[in-house]
């Protein structure tokens, strides 16, 4: 069985024809996407400024409204490209995929039309050989934000994923945040979340896929779990995984 996985698209529409070509060539049985579809640069800047000065963010700023419209179109085109592949595709949101309401209205609206799109955030799907579950956005110690960025507190995440330990079969987990390991760094900053390490230790998934850390492309083994950061799709990176052997090939769209 062949899997194709990627993360952090960031509205790179110029790569969509290459992504479509890669899917046609690779012919994966399943696609896994770890979030980061929208750019959200102005929203992130507004959030960081408000936080720095203890102010209230201006979510009605015309610049932000225009960016939201543009990012929603990026998201829609990306999802349509995945839907048109007719491959079963599990997707979760990233840190920049805000607002939550706008993201999930777009995703659920298309998933209602295209049954091969499977929104996996806080969801569990039973396939023939394994179960898939996911949790997107940024995991934080105690912050929850839904408007300009997607942040979920760790108690929220832990509660949402509590049923994993009761599932007896093989598990594949998707996170936007990486666990604490050598895959969690980007530009000198570390994005690892210890809760993900604890979940891995507790439920022993066969495979964990993550994103967010742009410089963290690679694979590590935590206990018996293989963890993979495919690298950012907006730079062309994706990974092909053979299952259940879990042999891995890192590839780039720019080779097409």
The reported pTM is 0.96
Q: Distance of CA 46 to CAs 21, 57, 59, 149, Å?
A: 37, 6, 8, 10
Structural domain boundaries of the chain?
2-255
pLDDT of residue 34: 98
Element containing residue 104 per DSSP (H, E): helix 100-113
- The least confident of 103-112, 161-170, 184-193, 237-246 is 184-193
Q: What is the pLDDT of residues 207-235, one digit of tens each?
A: 999 999 888 899 999 999 999 999 999 99
Query: Quick one: 2-255 is in which CATH superfamily?
Result: Metallo-dependent phosphatases (3.60.21.10)
pLDDT tens column, 27-57: 999 999 999 999 999 998 988 888 888 888 8
CB 227 within 8 A of CB 240: no
Structure tokens at 190: 């570390």
- Tell me the pLDDT tens digit for each residue of 161-207: 999 999 989 999 999 999 999 998 887 788 899 999 999 999 999 99
Q: Which two tokens stand for residue 217?
A: 């492309």
């Amino acid at each position: 069985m062949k899997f194709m996985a990627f993360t952090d698209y960031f509205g790179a529409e110029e790569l969509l024809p290459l992504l479509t070509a890669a899917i046609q060539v690779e012919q994966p049985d399943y696609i896994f996407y770890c979030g980061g579809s929208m750019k959200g640069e102005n929203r992130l800047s507004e959030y960081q400024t408000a936080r720095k000065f203890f102010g209230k963010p201006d979510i009605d700023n015309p610049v932000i409204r225009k960016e939201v419209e543009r990012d929603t179109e990026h998201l829609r085109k990306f999802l349509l490209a995945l839907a048109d592949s007719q491959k079963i595709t599990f997707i979760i949101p990233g840190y920049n995929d805000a607002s939550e309401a706008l993201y999930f209205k777009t995703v659920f609206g298309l998933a209602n039309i295209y049954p091969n799109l499977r929104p996996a955030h806080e969801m569990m799907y039973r396939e023939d050989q394994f179960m898939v579950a996911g949790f997107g956005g940024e995991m934080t110690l105690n912050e929850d934000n839904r408007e300009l960025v997607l942040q979920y507190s760790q108690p929220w995440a832990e509660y949402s994923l509590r049923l994993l330990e009761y599932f007896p079969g093989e598990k594949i987990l998707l996170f936007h945040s990486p666990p604490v390991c050598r895959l969690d760094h980007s530009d000198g900053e570390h994005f690892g979340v210890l809760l993900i390490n604890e979940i891995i230790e507790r439920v022993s998934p066969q495979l964990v896929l993550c994103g967010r850390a742009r410089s963290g492309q690679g694979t590590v083994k935590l206990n018996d779990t293989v963890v993979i950061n495919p690298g950012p799709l907006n730079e062309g990176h994706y990974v092909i995984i053979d299952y259940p052997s879990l042999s891995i090939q890192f590839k780039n769209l720019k080779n097409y």
